[in-house]
């Protein structure tokens, strides 16, 4: 599939144009506060199929539906539990998705045939404007080729999907930098099935009780959420997680280089300044992990096959947003090398 992809800078005229494309069954990319989304009318099966085709995404991987209000959420689900309502009121608009029982109005292509649907209200003015003007729920996974790092700028979308989609709306660099947290609210107690921009602690504070993070035996089940079953977020070259101190990290770099390989390093400011490698990219600071979250996908895209043969990256703390960072890095990594204690 190849077409001329329009590249539009966000303004009122641009969202007018994109809303017409959405209503006519086309697929467009637009910014949210998390990453760029690849959107189509969630009630139009043929439009939704174009998302899977453009991304090369498996069809049993459900999509998240983006709406403009809680009233719109209510129109696509059979019920909103008290816990789900508290989470919606606390974190929406924002980087949270809740999985609720679907009433069947959302296309089966979006829900992957499940009787549940993930919904969220994005906290980006361009996204809100687009949803309101299109006046339909918008199914939107991340606007990248399936398995690759998610896009945090319009140019990332262009690199992956130019010629495959109708239009790209450039609204600048996204803020959070990682996808939304997904909470399954269809069981007796809510369960986090994908960590993201809202932390486990923040969710527990609102609900007043502990919330489990789902374990993934993804080969056996159909996922209720994106990011659960398949390989994701992988850069152009192999990524190795290094779990150890700085001396151990440098020893791994030296070993790969002694075998003639060019080594790229993705690390925090704290670690990067004391390592020696062929290419070192700083992705934020451990003192403020939101800086790492915001730069992670951009950083993974920095490394090209022409410059390095392998990327080594550190293991970050899993407190707060660190849980989501490590969730993404564990999925992106080819292996993890641990220092013996």
Binding residues: 34, 57, 61, 66, 116, 120, 140, 142, 150, 180, 194, 233
Tell me how crowded residue 112 is: count the other CB atoms within 10 A of its CB: 17
Q: Give the DSSP H/E element, type plus range, for residue 330.
A: helix 322-332
Neighbour tally for 130: CB within 10 Å:
31
Cα–Cα distance between 235 and 280 in angstroms, integer? Answer: 15
- Residue ranges of the annotated binding site for L-threonine are 34, 66, 120, 140, 142, 180
**Dihedral pair phi/psi, residue 338, rounded to 5°:** -105, 140
Q: Which of 205, 211, 202, 181 is nearest to 328 (CA)?
A: 181
Distance CA 206, CA 194 (A): 18
Q: For residue 15, is the peptide bond before it cis, meaning its omega torsion is within 30 degrees of 0?
A: no
In sequence order, what DSSP letters do the residues of 256-284 get, joined into one string? HHHTT--EEEEE-HHHHTT---SEEEE--
| Alpha carbons 39 and 26: distance in angstroms, whole number | 8
Point out the annotated binding site for ATP: 57, 61, 116, 150, 194, 233
Q: Is 186 left (phi over 0), alpha (psi -120 to 50) or beta?
A: alpha
- Dihedral, 50, 55, 61, 65 alpha carbons, nearest 10: -60
């Amino acid at each position: 599939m190849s077409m001329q992809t329009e590249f539009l800078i966000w303004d009122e005229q641009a969202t007018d144009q994109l809303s017409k494309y959405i209503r006519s069954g086309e697929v467009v990319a637009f910014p949210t506060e998390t990453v760029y989304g690849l959107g189509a009318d969630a009630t139009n099966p043929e439009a939704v199929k174009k998302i899977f085709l453009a991304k090369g995404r498996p069809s049993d991987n459900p999509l998240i539906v983006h709406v403009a209000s809680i009233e719109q959420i209510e129109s696509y689900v059979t019920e909103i539990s008290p816990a789900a309502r508290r989470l919606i009121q606390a974190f929406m608009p924002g980087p949270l998705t809740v999985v609720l029982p679907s009433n069947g109005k959302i296309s089966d292509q979006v829900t992957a045939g499940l009787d549940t649907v993930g919904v969220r209200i994005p906290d980006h003015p361009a996204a809100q404007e687009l949803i309101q003007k299109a006046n339909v729920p918008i199914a939107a996974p991340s606007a990248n080729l399936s398995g690759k790092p998610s896009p945090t700028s319009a140019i990332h979308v262009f690199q992956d999907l130019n010629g495959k989609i109708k239009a790209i709306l450039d609204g600048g660099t996204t803020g959070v930098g990682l996808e939304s947290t997904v909470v399954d609210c269809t069981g007796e107690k809510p369960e986090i099935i994908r960590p993201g921009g809202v932390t486990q602690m923040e969710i527990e504070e609102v609900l007043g009780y502990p919330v489990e993070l789902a374990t993934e035996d993804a080969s056996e089940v159909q996922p209720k959420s994106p990011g659960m079953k398949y390989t994701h977020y992988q850069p152009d070259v192999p990524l190795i997680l290094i779990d150890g101190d700085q001396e151990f990290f440098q020893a791994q770099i030296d070993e790969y280089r002694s075998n003639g390989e060019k080594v790229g390093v993705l690390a925090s400011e704290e670690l990067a300044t004391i390592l020696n490698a062929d290419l070192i990219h700083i992705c934020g600071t451990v003192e403020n992990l939101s800086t790492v979250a915001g730069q992670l996908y951009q950083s993974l895209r920095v490394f090209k096959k022409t410059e390095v043969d392998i990327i080594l990256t550190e293991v970050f703390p899993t407190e707060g947003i660190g849980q989501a960072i490590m969730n993404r890095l564990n999925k992106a990594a080819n292996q993890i090398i641990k220092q013996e204690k």
